[in-house]
Structure 1
């Protein structure tokens, strides 16, 4: 999102500075408006600090994934209804924008309750369409000899009813159920999710530059130039093109070495403790055996001891 925001910001500046005509100024203003949306939505990231609002952001992210998979199911119903509706009502429509509106856009709006008005012959208005296709209006339906719509209402109206029943009741409720399951799953691990969020937030701001947007683009440009210059200088001395070993890699290798040493020391200490424990147990067992044999006057009795009187 940061990269997209920077890209729109630079593009908006280019269009605004290129003020040769009004269209460039207007294009720059539109790009700045879109960039404003991106930077405003970027503020949602600050809510990850809150224990209550942080997990809600995770819920929104997973719900967007649910919507993405839901759109695959909805696209099947939408294309099936849109193509059938376009074929029944109109023919020879050559304008791609109006084909898209009739096949995709209007069936999509029907999911939100907007009933198509061109499927009922009794309320069809010929003043809102064109017969030639040269105006900015949808193409009129075929008419019979009485100047009435030719399409069969006993097909179009039930088709709309079945489509709206499938989308508004079945698919929408399926999406609501998916949202409920997602929210419940995150809510069960609310505290753990927030702790992970806070950890990644701290890690991000530790590695982030102190310069605010959009001036951070100059800092990134400086870092790229500096890194390339360092690689080129090192390549001249070593003759190796792949010379850029980052500090992160060095820190990772050092951390792995320290952890390895700690693990080996822990294993060695644990083995020594186990050996000492086994020796201690053997001594205790040997002492018990000697005491029991000595009490009976056997071979293990101490020297000078006399056996007791026989019964």
Structure 2
């Protein structure tokens, strides 16, 4: 996204420099507007530091993947309805722009509730179409000998109803179910997802340049030239990251050492407590065995004394 925004910025600057041409000025303005959208959406990246909003970004990314695969399934229904509708209503449309609008664009808008108005012969408006195809209007439907729309309404209207039922109810609910499964999967591991996301954010900004945009273009140019020189001289020594390796904080290292020692002491204490408990249980078991053996010997001695005496 950063590369695309940088490319749009350079293209907008180039078009705006041609101030003598009005079309170039307008093109540069359009490119800058698109570039503004990219850099505004780039601000979503700062929400990764939040424990609550960070996992939501992962949800959005995975939901976009679900939408991408959903569009393949939706394209089958859209093309099937669009081609059949264009073939039934109009004949020999030569303009590719209006073919695209009739086959792709209008069936796509129908998924959002815009019902096609040219499938009903009683409400068809000939003022919004052209018979010659020379005007900037869609081609009118084919007429019969009574100058009425030739298409059969008992085919076109049920066709639109079936298409709206399939897309607005079945496919849209399928997409909502996919979104629910994706959100539930991320929500189960919410804390782990946020920690990994925060770690990669720190790593990303450790490897970034400190030069602000748009002067970072010169830094990238310097890095490319430096990389070319390294490839020419075959230097293989890798430079470590300045942020993450050279300037480590001593207090942080000391804190990590103390926490490591505390963790090891806790593990050893727990192991000692476990061993002491096992020794105590073994002593209790030995005592029970000794007492049981003593009771058995006492009973055996009593029986011998009783049966070895004189019979009365």
- Short-chain TM bin: 0.7 to 0.9
Match of 2:120 in 1: 120
Residue 251 and residue 227 in structure 1: after superposition, are their counterparts in 2 closer, same or farther (change >3 A)? farther
Note if 1:168 corresponds to 2:168: yes
- Does the CA contact (< 8 Å) of 2:207 and 2:243 recur in 1? no
Does structure 2 retain, via aligned residues, the 8 Å contact 1:234–1:243? no
Cα deviation for residue 104 of structure 1 reads 0.2
- C-alpha displacement at 1:216, in angstroms? 1.0
Over residues 256-303 of structure 1, what are the superposed CA-to-partner deviations in whole Å (9 max), with x where a residue is unaligned? Answer: 999999999999999999999999999999999xxxxxxxxxxxxxxx
Shift of 1:146: 1.6
Q: Secondary structure at the match of 1:138?
A: coil
Q: 2:12 touches 2:28 (CA, 8 Å); kept in 1?
A: yes
Seen in structure 2, the aligned counterparts of structure 1 residues 153 and 22 have a Cα distance that, compared at 3 Å, is same
> Deviation digits for residues 21-78 of structure 1, max 9, x if unmatched?
1011111111011000000000000000000000000000000000000000100000
1:309–1:210 CA distance, 2 compared to 1 (3 A): farther
Greater CA drift, 258-267 or 87-96 = 258-267
How far apart are the structure 2 equivalents of 1:183 and 1:88?
A: 42
Alignment root-mean-square deviation, CA: 6.4
* Counterparts of 2:243 and 2:228, CA distance in 1: 10
Determine helix, strand or coil for the equivalent of 1:235: coil
* Residues 135 and 36 of structure 1, relative CA distance in 2, 3 Å threshold: same
1-structure distance, mates of 2:191, 2:242? 44
**Alpha-carbon spacing, 1:53–1:235, altered in 2? closer, same or farther (3 Å):** closer
Q: 1:257 to 1:10 in 2, by over 3 A?
A: farther
**Alpha carbons of structure 1 residues 226 and 257: separation in structure 2 relative to 1, 3 Å:** farther
Shift of the 249–89 alpha-carbon distance from structure 1 to 2, 3 Å rule, reads farther
Superimposed CA distance per residue, residues 216-247 of structure 1 (whole angstroms, 9 cap, x where no aligned partner) = 11111112212323443458999999999999
Structure 1's unaligned 5+ residue stretches are 289-307
Q: Larger deviation: 279-288 or 202-211?
A: 279-288
Q: Distance in 1 between matches of 2:310 and 2:283?
A: 32
Residues 1:238 and 1:178: Cα distance change in structure 2 (over 3 Å): closer
How far apart are residue 254 of structure 1 and its match?
22
Aligned partner of 2:268 in structure 1 is: 268
Tell me how many residue pairs correspond in the alignment: 292
Query: What is the SS of the residue equivalent to 2:237?
Result: helix
Structure-1 separation of matches of 2:227 and 2:168: 55
Distance apart, 1:18 and its partner CA: 2.0
- In structure 2, what is the Cα distance between the partners aligned to 1:165 and 1:192? 40
Question: Contact 2:16–2:25 (CA<8 Å) still a contact in 1?
Answer: yes
Deviations 1:139-191 (A, max 9, x none): 00011122110100000000000000000000000000000000000000000
* Structure 1 stretches of 4+ moved >4 Å: 233-288, 308-311
The structure-2 alpha-carbon separation of the partners of 1:243 and 1:194, relative to structure 1 and needing over 3 Å to count, comes to: closer
TM-score by length of 2: 0.75
Decide whether aligned partners of structure 1 residues 243 and 162 sit closer, same or farther in structure 2, where only a CA change above 3 A counts: closer
CA distance change for structure 1 residues 251 and 245 in 2, over 3 Å: closer, same or farther?
Answer: farther
Taking structure 1 as the reference length, the TM-score comes to 0.76
